[in-house]
Amino acid sequence: MTVKTLQELLTEGVSGRTVLVRSDLNVPLENGRITDAGRIIASAPTIGALADAGARVIVAAHLGRPKGAADSALSLAPVAQRLGDELERYVQLAGDVVGQDAQERAAGLTEGDVLLLENVRFESRETSKDDAERQALARELAALTGTGGAFVSDGFGVVHRKQASVFDVAQLLPNYAGGLVATEVDVLTQLTTEAARPYAVVLGGSKVSDKLAVIEALAPKVDTLVIGGGMCFTFLAAEGLQVGSSLLQEEMIDTCKDLLDRYADVIHLPVDVVAADSFSADAQTQTVPATGIPEGWMGLDVGPDSVSRFSAVLRNAKTIFWNGPMGVFEFPAFAAGTRGVAESIVEATSKGAFSVVGGGDSAAAVRLLGLPEDGFSHISTGGGASLEYLEGKELPGISVLADDTASEG
From 360, 382, 383, 397, the catalytic residue = 360
From the number of C-beta atoms within 10 Å of its C-beta (0-12, 13-18, 19+), residue 8 rates as exposed
Taking the mean position of all CA atoms in its chain, how far away is CA 13? 31
Please tell me whether 64 is known to bind a ligand: yes
Q: What angle separates helix 208-218 from helix 383-390, to the nearest 10 degrees?
A: 40
72: Cα within 13 Å, side-chain hemisphere = 1
Q: ∠ at Cα 372 (370, 377), nearest 5°?
A: 140
From the candidates 48, 89, 95, 207, give the one annotated as an active-site residue: 207
How many angstroms separate the CA atoms of 47 and 65, rounded? 24
360 is catalytic: yes
Does the active-site annotation cover 89? no
Check whether 161 is labelled as a binding-site residue: yes
> For the stretch 114-144, what's the b/e string if a residue is b when 16 or more beta carbons lie within 10 angstroms of its beta carbon?
bbbbbbbbbbebbbbeeeebbbbbbebbbeb
Going by C-alpha positions, the residue among 29, 390, 53, 24 that lies closest to residue 199 is 390
Round to whole Å and give the CA distance between 16 and 387.
38
Tell whether residue 121 is among the known ligand binding residues.
yes
Beta partners for residue 18, in sequence order = 56
4 is in an annotated binding site: no
Active site residue 39: yes
207 is catalytic: yes
Is 360 one of the annotated binding-site residues? Answer: yes
Ligand-binding site membership of 63 (annotated): yes
Element (H, E) at 235: helix 232-238
The DSSP secondary structure of 167-219, one letter per residue, reads: IIGGGTS-EEE-HHHHHHHHHHHHHHHS--SSEEEEE-SS-HHHHHHHHHHHT
- Considering 48, 95, 112, 384, which one is annotated as catalytic? 384
17 is in an annotated binding site: no
**262 labeled part of a ligand binding site:** no
Does the annotation flag 359 for ligand binding? Answer: yes
The verdict on whether residue 299 carries a ligand-binding annotation is yes
Q: Is residue 330 a known part of a binding site?
A: yes
Residue 44: name the closest of 74, 64, 63, 21 by CA: 21
Q: Tell me how many helices (H) and strands (E) the chain has.
A: 14, 17
Strand partners, 203: 227, 323
User: For residues 165 and 138, what is the distance between their CA atoms, to the nearest angstrom?
Assistant: 6
197 assigned ligand-binding residue: no
Q: Exactly one of 4, 17, 22, 39 is catalytic; which is it?
A: 39
Q: Is there a binding annotation on residue 368?
A: no
**Residues placed in the known binding site:** 24-26, 39, 62-65, 121, 161, 211, 299, 330, 359-362
**Residues placed in the known binding site for ATP:** 211, 299, 330, 359-362
**Residues placed in the known binding site for substrate:** 24-26, 39, 62-65, 121, 161
**Residues placed in the known binding site for (2R)-3-phosphoglycerate:** 39, 121, 161
**Residues recognised as catalytic:** 39, 207, 360, 384
